Structure 1
Amino acid sequence: MSHWAGLLSTAAKVNLLVLVVSAVFSQSSLSDRVPEFALTKIEESDIKDDSGKEPITEDDADPEDLEVFYPTHQWQTVRPGQAVPAGSHVRLNLQTGDREAKLPDSENGRSDTREERRRKRLGKVDVDSNSFTSQELKKALAKMKETEKAERKVDNAKDFLSMGGLQLVIDGLNSTEAVLKEHAAFVLGSALSSNPKVQIEAIEGGALQKLLVILATEQPLSVKKKALFALSSMLRHFPYAQQQFLKLGGLQVLRSLFRQKGMETLHVRVVTLLYDLIVEKMLLEDSQHGDQMEEKIQQYRQVKLVPAVVEQDWCVVVSNLLAMPEHDTREKVLKTVGVLMAFCKERFRGDQALSTTLSLLRSEYEELAAEEQREGDKDGYFKELLGSVNTIIQELR
């Protein structure tokens, strides 16, 4: 009898967590109501596209990649939940309803003719433009409404955890059911993002250890993907968690992902996390600060991330990713190589494979940048990548 009682207890816990996780991310009836002070009411037919399908699904609103928005000189889509750095230029793309952002133009008075042409060709306008039609505005507002729903789901997760559900979610990371672990890591990661209170409660509740166990053991890719998302959310802007991460061998766990088959899609996410943590500390130490920040700076000084990165030969792990074919991946890796240059220069210099890869990239981006220039794009995307490659080559001479 006790055996069956134990099984029922476990099943009940599993079902309960699945239920609450689903409830957290389900749209409540209140979220469907149009506020009394709304400027316009969007009809159901306006929210759907021409095919009759809803424009955003729950997967589209997955905040897994939405922690930080890194602007470049090109317009990029700002996805739900991403924080845009102060000073960035932001606009609304009325063709898609998406928010877009980029770095501010240089202060040399030069106009960005490439962007003007692209905007005319694709129908993209700045937020303050008066040249849009009422139909375009309706579509844009519909898209914004869906974005707000997605952002409210993250807020709901935080509210759920603040009401005592945190330990239930952390316990879900131990489940033998892969789907339950995946959902638990997703909810945890969503609530941890930019939430110091939840970060503290989660690390005190043992979440860090459980996430590392998931990443270190054999698990489906989808589970590890969400666990890495939750780990990233826990570590960012939380030096104590970063210190504990190193003590628990977290870097070695992440390093093991590069030796596991089928985990290739996680490699760039890992490198991006390392880049974020290194830059985060550097920016804080270099910034002007008052007495109230001194304690946090002292905490960051206890985080010996870079020495551990060099010791475990992450220099080669990172540089090897430059051989990947995607330009977006190369861009992220080039940034990381640049940050690691001060610590990995000798290792980079002795890496013949890196030298060969950089030469091939320079040739490729010289051709692509020349093609951009022939089309009138004087400061194109590939020219920026070529500049990054040339800077690294120069520093390694």
Structure 2
Amino acid sequence: MFNVVNSIRAFNITSLVLFLICCYYMCVSSEHAPGALTVVNKDNDDDNDEVSVQNEDSEITNIDPLNVFYPEKEWKKIQPGQAIPAGLHVRMNMETGLNEAKLMDGDDGHKYWKRGEKEGMVNTDSKEFTHEELKRALKDFKATKHDVPNEKKAEEIKQKYRSYDELKEDFKKINMAVKTGQEIVTELFDKLNSTNISTEARETLLEDLEYHLHQYDNAVLFGDLGGISLLVKGLNHTDPTLRSLSAFVLGSAIQNNPKTQINAIESGALHQLIRSLATDPEIAVKKKVLYAISSIVRHFPFAQKKFFELGGLRSLMYLFEDKKLHSLQVKVITLMSDLYEERVHWLGHLEPTEEKYKQYEQIPLKDSLLDHGFCDTMVPLLELPDHDSREKIVFAMLSLYDCCEKKFHNIVSYLLKLEDEYLTLAVDEDEGDYFQQIHKNINSLRQQLSVAYKKDEL
């Protein structure tokens, strides 16, 4: 009994080994079949492409049906060396020991096969392909491989996106329409210099110019064309909006621009601005005029000296006679404190022999402020209700302390009151240190005055 069992077991193992060897041989023979067919397209993708068949190990040749296995609905023997298409039912006949294959149920006879980078298709109905069949099959194969959109999808894409030719045409039009900043400024100057334009058109031109003249080179070009003189003329226009815009554009053109600052002095702009500040009835015009004056004199000692010589400070003092001009008065105090700090800075950093030092030294700033009673203008403005004005006035008093210290002695008690107020606000402040900084400045000013007051008593 034991011998029978061992014999059956040995037979089973031997059969299994033979089956595995046959399967391995079958796979190897199909993988390395020397005559596997490959469909190859030429370089041209046109509809009239020639489609040929190529042997993997040979040059392009005609179709040889013996190089590939053509399956049928019944089991059929696989010849050695034949390439087997995918999707077939394959077996080894245990009786004959030969490999066999057949079509799966429901297959139509058309089979694709692939080995490495080589691909092909067999037609089991006719055993060979006509030229049209190959071309049609190749097109279908390309479409599947590259996922080419169908006609409907292609039309949707075409409607959604513009063609390359359309984009080229649009860019061409854009390039023709693009102008440089200097071309725009020249064009605006020519239009502004014309007498045949309406008030509304002139306003629009000035607004456009204000935007473009912030650019340094545009402002220089505008001045070279004579634009500063045009703006100075505009300060005398009967329309207050045009006067205001002319002053605004003038200030934008010369702000932080030494070349146009010099141009403005040469064009008589400073004299005209000082006159407008004193005589123009419109507050809106005065604001823009003050802005233009500030743009000319800042960091330009020659213009500062000229400003005081032309009676500029006297025109500024007129603004303190009207209680409705508090916002302008704060701007004037800020400007004077800035000029004072600027002068102190440069006199402390330049050599006395330098030309810029000599220019700042010639500015009669301190004497003019004292002679015109400028220091007295700051004290009443401390009572303004808004924090922004108070902050600027306290800061200006600190900047002008050396000049105006004797005029501030009688405000120590009021500064104590403000100090307490801003200490409370600083404690309740949720974010930032705005009130804390104001409190710090008030405290600094009060302490300086207290020390000076004690010295005077001694």
Scaled by the length of structure 2, what TM-score is found?
A: 0.52
**Which residue matches 1:272?**
334
**Which residue matches 1:131?**
none
**Which residue matches 1:190?**
252
**Which residue matches 1:358?**
415
**Which residue matches 1:136?**
none
SS at 1:175 equivalent: coil
Does the aligned pair in 2 maintain the 1:182–1:222 contact within 8 Å? yes
Matches within 5 A, 1:17-56: 19=201, 22-23=204-205, 25-26=207-208
**Which residue matches 1:340?**
400
* Root mean square deviation of aligned Cα: 2.6
**Which residue matches 1:76?**
none
Matches within 5 A, 1:227-376: 227-287=289-349, 289=350, 294-349=354-409, 351=410, 354-372=411-429
Hey, what's the Cα distance between the residues in 2 that align with 1:343 and 1:315?
8
Once the two structures are superposed, residues 18-56 of structure 1 have per-residue CA deviations (whole angstroms, 9 ceiling, x without a partner) of 7566335439xxxxxxxxxxxxxxxxxxxxxxxxxxxxx
**Which residue matches 1:168?**
230
| Counterpart residue identity of residue 281, structure 2 | Q
1:251 Cα shift? 0.8
Change (3 A) 1:393 1:14: farther
1:237 Cα shift? 0.9
1:13 Cα shift? 4.2
**Which residue matches 1:380?**
433
**Which residue matches 2:122?**
none
- Is 1:220 aligned to 2:282, yes or no? yes
Scaled by the length of structure 1, what TM-score is found?
A: 0.59
Change (3 A) 1:386 1:224: same
Does the aligned pair in 2 maintain the 1:221–1:262 contact within 8 Å? no
Does the aligned pair in 2 maintain the 1:17–1:172 contact within 8 Å? no
**Which residue matches 1:154?**
214
Change (3 A) 1:20 1:296: farther
1:12 Cα shift? 6.6
Change (3 A) 1:394 1:328: same
Hey, what's the Cα distance between the residues in 2 that align with 1:271 and 1:158?
30
Once the two structures are superposed, residues 191-231 of structure 1 have per-residue CA deviations (whole angstroms, 9 ceiling, x without a partner) of 11011111111112111111111111142111111100000
Change (3 A) 1:18 1:196: farther
Hey, what's the Cα distance between the residues in 2 that align with 1:305 and 1:265?
23
Does the aligned pair in 1 maintain the 2:243–2:285 contact within 8 Å? yes
Change (3 A) 1:202 1:227: same
Judging by fraction of residues, say which structure has more strand: 2
Q: Determine which structure has greater relative contact order: mean sequence separation of CA pairs < 8 Å that are 6+ residues apart, divided by chain length.
A: 1
Q: Percent identity?
A: 37
**Which residue matches 1:393?**
446
Deviates more, 1:158-167 or 1:268-277: 158-167
Does the aligned pair in 2 maintain the 1:275–1:336 contact within 8 Å? yes
Structure 1 residue runs of 5 or longer lacking an equivalent are 1-10, 28-61, 63-149
Does the aligned pair in 2 maintain the 1:173–1:180 contact within 8 Å? yes
Hey, what's the Cα distance between the residues in 2 that align with 1:304 and 1:163?
34
Hey, what's the Cα distance between the residues in 1 that align with 2:354 and 2:198?
44
SS at 1:190 equivalent: helix
Does the aligned pair in 1 maintain the 2:244–2:284 contact within 8 Å? yes
Does the aligned pair in 1 maintain the 2:206–2:246 contact within 8 Å? no
- Choose which of 267, 270, 273 in structure 2 pairs with 1:208: 270
Deviates more, 1:242-251 or 1:320-329: 320-329
**Which residue matches 1:123?**
none
SS at 1:226 equivalent: helix
Once the two structures are superposed, residues 54-88 of structure 1 have per-residue CA deviations (whole angstroms, 9 ceiling, x without a partner) of xxxxxxxx8xxxxxxxxxxxxxxxxxxxxxxxxxx
